[in-house]
Chains A and B, each alone.
Chain A
């Protein structure tokens, strides 16, 4: 009789149960919490709608016989798999409200890809400010997860009115072409569906990927159709030169170079040319079917299972009031398969939990902050003060470093659930070596070559935001998510105002001056900190790669785990993993 099973079944098939159903009391008293979260969700949804509706109206694009970027993505991506990223990203506060590209993680023909498309509603897909940085985040994502990058190119080139913000610079628009070259060098394929007119920078967007599939009306070229009238010898424009320009423009009939008759019929750069826009997308789907991907069973340790408790509970569990604690294990129980968890050293470093969970049947490491008062902890401050969840102490930092190192050894990707107010401070904390232990955690992360996903569940504060696999972990962090209750700042606004103005208050009072103006400045600072730490601000600045609803977190965890195990660069045979044995002892 033939028999089959997953590897290390005794460890992974059934882990410890975590979580419990919400009590009637918890449900009753969390009604206000839901309202606060819904208010934030509405603010975020409104901002997203504005971005989606920016530029030329969709109907106008469709009347021209074209699909919008959203139509193209809808057709291309497998239903239910789209995990958008950078929707609100607009670091240079462009008038367009976005960076002119739309991107995310999604499945095409059953395989995960990093997908990015020019928004043809925004100046025909022009290079605009902040776009290059957005593109680099997506090429980094493909590199980190070792998954194909899929481009839908439709790029009219630099928005000439603001070329100084777009063209030059170390991380300017041309850097993307080097990233494409890097991905190709690393064996990460880039599929490119090409639409419209793509001159100059648009031409390199067209040529730099691995496989080029064009629409019949597309072109890619070193430059455009020529600039009418050439250089103006006067060095300025007047009525006479304007008239010359008008006459020349009226007689200008040159076609854009690099059309299909050149780059399919002559140079054969284009693998395929399609008469319809949908045909291009079908071509990409067909190529995706040939992209490298393991059968998930190679890496799964159990059958995929939903959490036992509803993900919607997260809107009741995570307190919108930042001063309120919540049960972090209850959060975890709404994210992991079958609400199970194999915890690493639960008695040590109680301010954080570390352990192995299953996400869609794949093993992942999870690290997160616990919340609430920690009596008789930290051990080095007995009699001086007590610990509180959200802060990091000596044991917790050591535990995280150990766990990250073991995950690196076992090739387990890590999901960080961050809600942190910082690392313990003061002379006692310094004697307990917290500064070095924080940096040691950074070293442990950098020393591994594993992908990480970070969720700022609520607070991302002080250096703790960096050390917990935050977006600053450039080599490991695939993406960072915020939620409707996310706040990211170096410290709370009131703390910052006190730090900035305390001495000034003393000075003014000793001089017998009115304290009112200083107090007003302090309150302005508090308000500024609040405004500049809200979820939408964090997304616009790129502090997070996307704001997602709390129930959607599970979907992103599934995308992360699936993409990570699609074609990993390094494999630890499951039966040779050491972390599950270390946990069991």
Chain B
């Protein structure tokens, strides 16, 4: 089980996966937006998306869990 966490405060700009998707290491999972810049969040390992903890447009804080990958 691996939690993808937000490295910063910002908004969820785009979610590229759905629950059940199989992802590879380095796949782009979520794009955050802050200060007009996009920050992509990549999978740190291969696995299956079991939970998406945020919604598109939602504000997130630093260290908040975004996605759980098993």
- A and B: real partners? yes
- Min C-beta distance of A36 to chain B, whole Å: 15
Given contacts A29-B28, A375-B62, contact A325 B37 (CB under 8 A): yes
**Residues B27 and A373 in contact, CB atoms below 8 Å apart:** no
Q: Which residue of A lies closest to B37 (CB)?
A: A323
The 0/1 profile, CB within 8 Å of A marked 1, for residues 20-44 of chain B is 0000111110000011111110100
A375 to B27 Cα, complex, angstroms = 24
Q: Is B57 an interface residue (CB 8 A)?
A: no
For residues 1 through 59 of chain A, which have their beta carbon under 8 Å from a beta carbon of chain B?
23-26, 28-29
With a cutoff of 8 Å between Cβ atoms, the chain A residues found around residue B36 in the complex are 323
Q: Shortest distance in angstroms between A393's beta carbon and chain B's nearest beta carbon?
A: 13
Tell me whether A323 and B7 are in contact (CB under 8 A): no
Q: Please give, as numbers and ranges, the residues of chain B lying within 8 Å of A323 by CB-CB distance.
A: 36-38
Q: Evaluate contact between A373 and B26: CB separation under 8 angstroms.
A: no
Q: Is the CB of B8 within 8 A of A29?
A: no
Q: Let me know if A324 and B7 touch, CB within 8 A.
A: no
With A375-B8, A375-B62 in contact, do A26 and B26 touch (Cβ < 8 Å)?
A: yes
Q: Is the CB of A29 within 8 A of B7?
A: no
Point out the residue from A26, A29, A321, A388 that lies within 8 Å of B35, measured CB to CB.
Answer: A388
Q: How far is the CA of A511 from the CA of B8 in the complex (A)?
A: 42
Contact, CB under 8 Å: A25 / B24: yes
User: A24 touching B37 by the CB < 8 A rule?
Assistant: no
When distances are taken between beta carbons in the complex, the residues of chain A under 8 Å from B25 are 25
* List of A residues within 8 angstroms of B35 by Cβ: 373, 385-386, 388
Are A373 and B28 within 8 A (Cβ)? no
Size class of the contact patch on chain B: 10 to 19
Given known A23-B26, A26-B26, contact A321–B38 (CB-CB < 8 A):
yes
Nearest B residue (CB) for A389: B37
A324 and B42 contacting across the interface, CB-CB below 8 Å: no
CA distance in complex: A191, B40 (Å): 54
Query: In the complex, A522 Cα to B35 Cα: how many Å?
Result: 22
**Cα(A375)–Cα(B62), bound, Å:** 9
Instruction: Judge whether B19 is part of the interface by a CB distance below 8 angstroms.
Output: no
CA distance A388 to B9 in the complex (A): 12
* In the complex, chain A residues whose CB is within 8 Å of the CB of B10: 373
Q: Which residues of chain B come closer than 8 Å to A29, judged between CB atoms?
A: 26-28
With the chains together, A375 CA to B9 CA distance in Å? Answer: 9
Choose from A25, A375, A386, A388 the contact partner of B26 (Cβ within 8 Å).
A25
B39 near A372: Cβ-Cβ < 8 Å: yes
The interface on chain A, measured as residues whose beta carbon lies within 8 A of the other chain's beta carbons, has a size of: 16
Note all chain A residues with C-beta closer than 8 A to B26: 23-26, 28-29
Contact B42 A25 (CB under 8 A): yes
The answer, among A23, A324, A385, A386, for a CB contact under 8 Å with B40, is A324
Task: Give the docked Cα–Cα distance between A431 and B17 (Å).
Answer: 44
Nearest B-chain residue to A319, judged by Cβ = B38
> Chain A residues with Cβ under 8 A from B8's Cβ?
373, 375, 386
| Contact string against B for A residues 362-397, beta-carbon threshold 8 Å, 1 for contact and 0 otherwise | 000000000011010000000001101000000000
Contacts of A373 in B (CB 8 A): 7-8, 10, 34-35, 37, 39
Shortest CB distance B54–A (Å)? 17
Alpha-carbon distance A567/B5, docked complex (angstroms): 55
Interface centre among A26, A323, A375, A385 (most CB of B within 10 A): A323
User: Hey, which chain A residues are within 8 Å of B28, CB to CB?
Assistant: 29
Separation of A388 and B34 alpha carbons in the complex (Å):
9
Contact in complex: A388, B37 (CB < 8 Å): yes
Which A residues are CB-close (under 8 A) to B34? 373, 386, 388
What A residues does B27 contact at CB under 8 A?
A: 25, 29
Residue picked from A321, A373, A385, most chain B C-beta under 10 Å: A373
Please tell me which one of the listed residues A25, A26, A28, A325 contacts residue B39 in the complex, with CB atoms under 8 A apart: A325
Contacts of A385 in B (CB 8 A): 35
Interface positions of B (Cβ within 8 A of A): 7-10, 24-28, 34-40, 42, 62
Cβ-closest 7 pairs across A and B? A25-B26, A373-B8, A323-B38, A388-B35, A323-B37, A324-B38, A23-B26
A-B contact pairs, 11 of them (CB 8 A): A29-B28, A323-B36, A323-B37, A325-B37, A372-B39, A373-B39, A375-B7, A385-B35, A386-B34, A386-B35, A388-B37
Residues of A within 8 A of B (CB): 23-26, 28-29, 321, 323-325, 372-373, 375, 385-386, 388
Known contacts A25-B25, A372-B37; can you find 11 more A-B pairs with CB under 8 A?
A: A26-B26, A29-B28, A321-B38, A323-B36, A324-B37, A324-B40, A325-B38, A325-B39, A375-B7, A375-B62, A386-B8
